[in-house]
Structure 1
Amino acid sequence: MANTEFGYVRNFEQLDALPPSNWIVVRIDGRGFTKLCKKYGFQKPNDKRALDLLNASATEVVKQFVDVVLAYGQSDEYSFILHENAGMFERRASKLATSISTAFTAEYCMQWSTFFPDQPLILRDYLSWRQADCHINNLYNTTFWNMVLEGGMSTTEAEHALKGTVSSDKNEILFSRFGINYNNEPLIYRKGTVIFRAYDTESEVNGGSTAGKVPDPTSKSQMEKAKKRKQKARIAVEHVDIIGPSFWEAHPYILGTGAGKGSTE
């Protein structure tokens, strides 16, 4: 992109390269880990399975990033140490932090079933968590920027005013000061976006059956038919609630419950 008309965009990038001859430590820490421990019944005071999962995830990170010379972990955190002469990602702090943290998170999720085979992660719980986060972030941003752009406050003043507030407080600020009912804000902002394959009929989902016979989903021909059905399906882009049951009851095949369970790639 540097040699194109859009090369000027690089001028907006923040220069965050860490100075040379300094050791770099990227420390990642669990967020909401106490709730996770409670939800999945981690043993107290220590759960060997959880620690083994952390260690396995960290091991993969060390394998992926050769400039990491040492990693130390305890509880729900891990510190990854890069040599003072490390040149990975040109020593950009943002790139190092995001790359290592996302790699660790991905490994933690991928290897969960190895260490907690009797407690599978529930996909709907994850998606509900992300949509709840969408609501929290958008409510804050909507309130914050109305206080700045319409209320005449500086960003520092708005940030200080919102410190310690809960959702009901922000809703009250929006309504009483700016006449905004947050529930009337566009769904795309409040709910995010869901993209999925939509089938108009059950027959389109499972390919139908004859004389009550259920097709063998593992056969090569059925897998090929399932693939073609998916390719023909309408790609829906919606802004809907996915925390409640309505969406999942309307599209049970997404999670493999009901008609679409046998569809595999």
Structure 2
Amino acid sequence: MAKSRFEYVRNFERENLLLPETHIIIRVDGRGFHKFSEKYEFDKPNDDRALKVMNLSACQLMNQIPDIMMAYGDSDEYSFLLRKQCDMFERREFKLITTFGSTFSANYQYFWSSVCSDKPLTVERLPTFDARAVVYPSDDTIKDYFRWRQVDCHINNLYNTTFWNLVIKGGMTPHDAENKLIGTVSADKNEILFKQFGINYNDEPEIYKKGTLYIRDSVITPTEANTRDLTKRQLERLQKRLKKSEIKELHCDIIKDEFWDDRPWLLC
């Protein structure tokens, strides 16, 4: 950049560097997706094509950024776990969140055009996503974060499934359905679904109840977990393996310890 007397304005810029050697999770969320889903007439309570666009966008982001070890999403959000030793953008928060938000938005618009070609996007209501980055100090907090998101997925999906069945099949107004569900617990909602609509919630597709998980196959050995001890050549080889590693799609329980015990490399 050329030097000039105006360059002093750079002194007003501030960088927030995320703590080194801590886990980073970046969560992207749809902006105004309630109105977006109304505009493009999403199926209720779950729109399979919209979920497919979200999942394709997340998987593509993992292909684009090899430092992502796993991603979990449902509805209009996705959480991405970066390698503990990730040094992308020197761990500058603003660069990370703007890259994730903008790239996910671009991916979503691209895949929407192919998956939902019968519903072309209009400039008045384009899908966009914002992002936030949070650092977590331990493996246990990472596990609890993803457990929290999956529990949230279950709670929201059970509510939405009951609500929309009351409206669509039960003929209730949204206001009346909302009032009927006030104060109900999971058992109450399960009873409404089964007795009124013959729906056994346990038989609902796992993608609705548990969300979608993408994990990078094991490519990091125990000796590579601390990349500070690796040479430049070893780091380059690790990055190449990460780029070529298989990404698997799962719809499974991530609350129990078994999931994490079987995949220790995810937290390297």
Q: Give TM-score, length-normalised by structure 2.
A: 0.47
Higher RCO (CA < 8 A, seq sep 6+)? 2
Q: Give TM-score, length-normalised by structure 1.
A: 0.47
